[in-house]
Structure 1
Amino acid sequence: LPEGVFSLIYGSGNDIGQALVRDARIKAVGFTGSRNGGTALAKAAQERPEPIPVYAEMSSINPVFLLPEALKARGKELGEAFVGSLNMGAGQFCTNPGLVIAVKGEALDAFVASAGEAVKGAAAQTMLTPGIHDAYVQGVDGLVASSHAREVARGPAGDGPNACQVGLFVASAEDFLTDEALQAEVFGATSLVVECADQAEVKRVAEHLEGQLTATLQMDDGDLEAARGLLPVLERRAGRVMANGWPTGVEVCHAMVHGGPYPATSDSRTTSVGSAAIHRFLRPVCYQNLPQGLLPEALRDGNPAGVSRLVDGNREV
């Protein structure tokens, strides 16, 4: 590869990113970070003499819906697996399950109790930077101070710098729908369980959510109707809708969509993982009536490059 294809530049503030976005030689930008950082870069890109696209991956709480039959059948196991996903990489995966939604009752109580015990035994991992850790502590402190959230469990505090203490909180759907602070992303290994009165309220909570990278359904065969009612809502709010998995697993493959409506990303038509991700940095060009000798090999008669292509609407391999 040519020298400079991959470069790493260190900086403690926003100046380097802003300078790169404003440089006339830059024609497109990919970004992973906070909502404030992504929107600031997008604004700078649009203020250039030649505006450019910014594909920013920003804020997502990745809701997990525990449907009734699955919750009743395997709530304890789901609680344990959930905390494993929550604490992966100190909760710094952008697909971290930061919100759990279910109908209140004994089955949900069993899930919360199981998850709470798992949280108490979850080791504190080191976060990437002091700034990320400070923001995490501030977010958790906000939940602790909230009159609308109840603390279920906290993990060991950890001894090292920037240690991420795992946390689990519970709130009612009524409070979640009216308290914007409960809907804010806490980037790290803390999650909020929202208790709903019934499946209709579960749907209202889903409809209230902002754009997400993922939405997960934990379901059994008896939950098909409940899932069918949620699916049209989730399709419009998430880039990836899954069943019976955990969102922290992101496979690099042709089918993967790692994107979603704002504020999950700044452009919901794209993905930052998978083969379709390259389209963010491509621009279509039409060659009309050019002689064969001027065309790229991939467009010439006879297909000398041997590429898969579409000719007059027919796939040619």
Structure 2
Amino acid sequence: MTGVETAGAAVSVDEAVAAARAAFRTGATRAERSRWLEALAASLEADRDELVALAARETHLAETRLTGEVARTAAQLRFFGAVVREGAYLEAVVESPDPGSIPPRPDLRRMLRPLGPVAVYTASNFPFAFSVLGNDTASALAAGCPVVVKAHPGHPELSRRTAALAAQALPPGWLTLVEGMEAGRELVQHSGVAAAGFTGSERGGRALFDLAAGRPQPIPFYGELGSINPVVVTASAAAERAEAIGAGLVASFTRDAGQYCTKPGLVFVPRGGGIEDAARAALASAPASRQLTEGMTAAFRTGLGRYSDSPGAEVVTEPIAESDASAPSLVLVDADEFLREPAVYLAECFGPVSVLVRYSDPELETLLDALEPSLTGTIHRGSAEDVTALAGRLGGRVGRLLFDGWPTGVAIGWAQHHGGSWPATTASVHTSVGATAIRRWLTPIAYQDAPADVLPAELRDGNPLGIPRRDA
């Protein structure tokens, strides 16, 4: 048992989970896990050209974009290697006995420990960064959790090749690949799986979330789902730089066929402020592009049809020659029409389209009240403009609040938060990017009056491993 799919021999869910459980029982030190993550990053880089060519054939994404994504994925792996070496993620606390406290306090020592084997459901739109060795896998391995990866059908050969590379860098059972829709359902219900991570559609994520919650012993399900990522352009910002904002918007929502979870899908622009004209002009030179799968292409066209069927909306689409490509589009609508049918415009349309809602200042507060939570929100403001109140209103509905930029592109770091309330994610207190993504795969344990030889090294007297720790 190698723990991955080998040529001609698909591993069953039972076999994959059994291998992961065996690996978890054996365990691995923080130093070992850090070295594995470094080795995985090096393996990706060494085989970059082959992997990129394979990904380009399966996904229609440009090789330049994919090459950059390999670099990001290697950086994520190394980043989590550093996180696990540093040790602050353990949240270690040592409290000495205090018989004078009320009630008396015994010797208490607390830290986070790994949950157990986890399931990772890979994304279609990031065949490296949110796939077999993507952010969920990297953070889970860093936490000490073996991973069973459910491959995405949009890039099966790439998934198998990446898993084979992982098998060369990891001991058996630490990463296993399974395929197929039925395997995906079986995996989240398997009694040996302790948690699951998912990046994909709201419908698919909700189905798996319900299965995870309906188990005899429910497990955490960390799903990143739909997001429209609202943008507010103030009148002052429009007066100062309408052309730049309009061009930047089109560049952001058409990037890689609009297949980003952080695509700005809903933009509130001041009526008559020039943003609409600038966006129309930029749209004329925006390229058509193929989407990842035929199903996504069909869903995008259905979504555009919903806008076209709304009598108060104008859909602006540049003509294209390629029948299998998706044309970038703008949907233009007044605030009163948006408020008449908000569900039409709040539904995510995955692809190169953005909805521009024309507003006057008295209407903006009502428009913001209609929003559902999203991964990101953005404010474009005038120079020296005070947007404190606006930031408070929009910030209450998003996981990341940006100013004077665009949300596509999620940096890796300790301060990053890539999350939000439903329907953006299933667990608003967690992130799927950044150092604290590791927290999803950990659970606390407190030791009371424990003998020294029982304690993990991270909690022993003198802090022998030198990790960041609170001692009281």
Q: TM-score, normalised by structure 2?
A: 0.62
| Aligned pairs (5 A) from 1:153-172 | 153-157=316-320, 159=322, 161=324, 163-172=325-334
Aligned-residue CA RMSD (Å): 1.5
Question: Is 2:314 aligned against 1:150?
Answer: yes
| Aligned pairs (5 A) from 1:12-91 | 14-91=181-258
Percent identity for Structure 1 against Structure 2: 39
User: Structure 1: which 5+ runs fail to align?
Assistant: 313-317
What is the aligned counterpart of 2:403 among 243, 248, 260?
A: 243
The 1:31/1:111 distance shift into structure 2, 3 A limit, reads: same
Counterparts of 2:437 and 2:301, CA distance in 1: 33
The 1:158/1:216 distance shift into structure 2, 3 A limit, reads: farther
Q: Secondary structure at the match of 1:203?
A: helix
Count of paired positions: 302
The 1:36/1:66 distance shift into structure 2, 3 A limit, reads: same
The Cα shift of 1:263 comes to 0.4
The Cα shift of 1:158 comes to 5.2
The 1:9/1:129 distance shift into structure 2, 3 A limit, reads: farther
The 1:131/1:7 distance shift into structure 2, 3 A limit, reads: farther
What is the aligned counterpart of 1:296 among 435, 442, 456?
A: 456
Which amino acid in structure 2 is aligned with residue 255 of structure 1?
A: A
2:355 aligned partner? 192
Counterparts of 2:464 and 2:269, CA distance in 1: 57
Q: Secondary structure at the match of 2:377?
A: strand
Which amino acid in structure 2 is aligned with residue 118 of structure 1?
A: A
Q: Does structure 1 retain, via aligned residues, the 8 Å contact 2:379–2:391?
A: no
What is the aligned counterpart of 1:233 among 393, 402, 418?
A: 393
Q: Does structure 1 retain, via aligned residues, the 8 Å contact 2:247–2:278?
A: yes
Counterparts of 2:465 and 2:226, CA distance in 1: 42
Q: TM-score, normalised by structure 1?
A: 0.91
1:133 aligned partner? 297
Question: Is 2:446 aligned against 1:286?
Answer: yes
Which amino acid in structure 2 is aligned with residue 44 of structure 1?
A: L
Q: Does structure 2 retain, via aligned residues, the 8 Å contact 1:68–1:223?
A: no
Which amino acid in structure 2 is aligned with residue 87 of structure 1?
A: T
Counterparts of 1:193 and 1:20, CA distance in 2: 41
Counterparts of 1:273 and 1:286, CA distance in 2: 27
Counterparts of 1:203 and 1:60, CA distance in 2: 20
Greater Rg, structure 1 or structure 2?
A: 2
Which amino acid in structure 2 is aligned with residue 164 of structure 1?
A: S
Q: Secondary structure at the match of 1:284?
A: strand
1:174 aligned partner? 336
1:315 aligned partner? none
Counterparts of 1:121 and 1:212, CA distance in 2: 29
User: Structure 2: which 5+ runs fail to align?
Assistant: 1-169
The Cα shift of 1:222 comes to 4.4
Counterparts of 1:128 and 1:7, CA distance in 2: 24
2:45 aligned partner? none
Q: Secondary structure at the match of 2:385?
A: helix
1:216 aligned partner? 378
The Cα shift of 1:254 comes to 0.7
Counterparts of 1:7 and 1:92, CA distance in 2: 27
Counterparts of 1:309 and 1:35, CA distance in 2: 39
The 1:41/1:150 distance shift into structure 2, 3 A limit, reads: same
Residues 57-106 of structure 1: per-residue CA shift (max 9 Å, x gap): 1111001110111111100111111111111121111000001102212x
Q: Secondary structure at the match of 2:447?
A: coil
Q: Does structure 2 retain, via aligned residues, the 8 Å contact 1:168–1:191?
A: yes
